[in-house]
Chain A
Amino acid sequence: DVKVTQSSRYLVKRTGEKVFLECVQDMDHENMFWYRQDPGLGLRLIYFSYDVKMKEKGDIPEGYSVSREKKERFSLILESASTNQTSMYLCASSSPYRAGSPLHFGNGTRLTVT
């Protein structure tokens, strides 16, 4: 079974702190994604990566950056956390787009910025 592991289930940080959210997948997937999920807004794509050291902006990249130094690991960075970044963060991975390549999600990190 594919496993996508997010390093923390719950995280509390202060405004202005630099925050790292880590995600690791064990299926040698090329694609990795970061989403955030807020009540009433569904899932929104922040960044994605289709190869090591490659990254593409999603729909809401402002205030975030990412790092993909190794194929299995995709990190989301909040350079200076703000209260409006309090959210559930979901990481996902997949093979390149072709028949039968769904996204596999981790269980999420619930981040609270105070």
Chain B
Amino acid sequence: DAKTTQPPSMDCAEGRAANLPCNHSTISGNEYVYWYRQIHSQGPQYIIHGLKNNETNEMASLIITEDRKSSTLILPHATLRDTAVYYCIVPYSGAGSYQLTFGKGTKLSVIP
């Protein structure tokens, strides 16, 4: 499965945009990029996913480079409740199923 690389930690001022980068240089043409986050003591929460085009939903925007080797998750106006560990994942798919391998993610701290 395609490996992802993320910085271990980042800080962001409350109300500012948080830009979380992810490298996935071995991604293949039909593999999606998924983003999840985990707030302390809770299960991971799905945020957004994309293939080639940029995507936006009520939680975040996802910018994927043209060569698809990296992506950026954007939280447009970070709040204290966005403090969490953010995971960038490229699922392994095969035999009619798929599995996500979670790395260590990026710990985002939103600072008042």
Contacts and interface: CB of A to CB of B under 8 A. Distances in A.
Interface of A: 4, 30-31, 33, 35, 40-45, 48, 50, 56, 58-59, 90, 92, 94, 96-97, 99-100, 102-108
B97 A103 contact: no
Contact of A45 (B43, B99, B103): B99
29 contacts: A4-B43, A30-B97, A40-B104, A41-B104, A42-B87, A42-B102, A42-B103, A42-B104, A42-B105, A43-B44, A43-B87, A45-B101, A50-B97, A56-B97, A59-B101, A90-B43, A92-B43, A92-B44, A94-B98, A97-B91, A97-B97, A97-B98, A99-B51, A100-B49, A103-B36, A103-B44, A104-B46, A105-B44, A107-B43
Interface residues on B, range: 20 to 34
B28 interface: no
Interface string B84-112: 00010001010111111111110000000
B43 A105 contact: yes
Nearest to B101: A45
Given A94-B98, A97-B96, A107-B43, 14 more contacts: A31-B97, A42-B105, A44-B102, A48-B99, A50-B95, A56-B97, A58-B99, A90-B44, A92-B43, A96-B96, A96-B98, A100-B49, A103-B44, A107-B42
